[in-house]
Structure formats: C-alpha cells, structure tokens
Amino acid sequence: MDTQSLPAELRTALDRFSGYLERERAVSAHTCRAYLGDLAALFAFAAGEGAAGLQDLELGTLRRWLGAQSQSGASRATLARRAATVRAFTAWAVREEYLESDPALRLRAPKRERSLPGVLQAGQLQRLFQDLEESAAGGDPVAVRNRAMVELLYATGVRVGELAGLDADDLDFDRRTLRVIGKGNKERTVPFGVPAAVAVDDWLRRGRPQLVKDGSGPALFLGVRGGRVDQRQVRSVVHGLFEAMGDTSASGPHALRHSTATHLLDGGADLRAVQEILGHSSLATTQIYTHVSVDRLRKSYQQAHPRA
C-alpha cells in the first residue's frame, strides 16, 4: 500500500513502529509486513475521515474501520489479527508518549475460528514413510532429502521456517536432539527418534554431497541448485505427498506439526512438555493446536467408567 499520501505524522509513526518491531520485538519479516500493512490500511481509513495525527485515532474510528473490513468480507481470523495489531501499536504509542491514552483498550473483535488441520493416522503415516523410503532407495538426492525433511518434521513438530533454517551442526546425533531458532529468535532443543536420525544421516551421506555447491554454506537441507531449501519448496513437497495419498484432509506441513502434538498427547505426554517441543510461549496456544482423539476418549472411558 502506498503510504506517501498519508499525513506526515502518521507516516512517521508507521516508520518508528517498524523500527520497534525489527529491533525490540525481533519479529519475522513476514509478520512485520502484516503489521505495517494493517496499520497503513487503518491510517488511510482514518485520514479519509479527516484524521491528521495519532491524537485523532479514537475508539470509534477503530471500530468503524473493523466494521468496514467485515463488510468487505474479511474473515473473523483476519479481523482478530488486525485488532491485535492495532492494540499492539496503540500500547506502544502510549509507552513512547505519542498518545496520551490508549484508544484500543476497549476494542474487541470476533473470536478466531479454531479450525484444526487434518491429523494423520498411524496407518497413513506408515504408508507415507514407506513410500518415502522406497523413493529414496534409488539414490535420487531430492528423494533422499524429501524423506529426511518429512521424517524430521514429524519427529520434532518444528515449523517449516525452522526446518529450512537448520544448519548441519544444529543436530546432535549422539543425543538425537536438534537446536532450533523459533519465533522471536528464541532457541530451544527438540528431541528426535531413530527413524528421523537414520533418514537425515542417509541424506548427509548420500544426498547432500550430490547437491552441495561452493556457496551452499552450512545449510542442512539444500535445493536442486545447491542453495538453502526454500519454505515454499518444503510446503510443495509435503502438499504433493498428502495429495497423492488421497485419503487425508491434511494439506501441508502444519498438519505434520499438529499430528506430532496430537500423537504425543495421545501417548501420554504432558501438555507442558508438548508446549516446550512446539516452542509455544503460551500453554493456551498448545491447547488450540492439539485435541483429544476419539480413541483416547474411548480408552479413558473404558478404564474409568464402572459400566463401560
């Protein structure tokens, strides 16, 4: 969005908030763009109503902006995100004394729809990994890489960006753990199992040497041109695998992450342990990403109910 047409004070506030996000919040480039895009849209709306500066941002302005977004077809999740962006901005503006009071304190948006990605069942996972192993057996470096990436995604529950950002020395094969940098540049250590260790070792011995180039650097997973694998490539690989299965609603890498969390809980893992593995700052977030399966409910019922 073109911000040059905004009043000077609003443009300046946008630039300063951008600096705050990058320096102090250390948010990703994608998140920063989303924040600034939301705020630029709000400022353009407010300017259209005659606002010349931050002091002209009132609760009514914020509510009318969200209302206009809703009428234009924005989902509840989008409205909730935009309201959160505004609250983060106005709280910052008050701390920096650009605003005397926070107009967003009473701003409310519809609750997010809690839609969960599909969860792979044990039989589906067995087929998936068997197909990947058979494909990798031929020695094609991309097939060997794909097997290692999917095994590691399911073994650890890491995000796609975290997987793509891994370097070879981030893995400790003796302890079977990996060091990952998550959201907010927070580092955590995540365990992985024997199948993932075997697949990654196979990639490092047979696959990576075929794709590595002088400029590959320490990246664990490489694309066909020798550079660090791109997140879009990982998503495309996983999406293609799920589509080929034909019997799952899972559609991308996040379904593997969700499956990891669900299967850990079904196996008796503590919720806080799953929170640590997934890298969630809030336990409430872990609860959103996980659910209790029907099988687990049935087992609990049979064990506990006197007339089961």
Active-site hit among 82, 208, 228, 254:
254
Active-site hit among 208, 258, 263, 280:
280
Residue 179 among the catalytic residues = no
Residue 11 among the catalytic residues = no
Active-site hit among 35, 98, 154, 289:
289
Paired strand residues for 172: 177
Active-site hit among 145, 208, 257, 263:
257
Residue 108 among the catalytic residues = no
Active-site hit among 145, 147, 159, 263:
159
Active-site hit among 183, 188, 206, 239:
183
Residue 20 among the catalytic residues = no
Cα–Cα distance list, 57 to 7, 71, 89, 119, 140 (Å): 13, 21, 12, 44, 58
The residues annotated as belonging to the active site are 159, 183, 254, 257, 280, 289
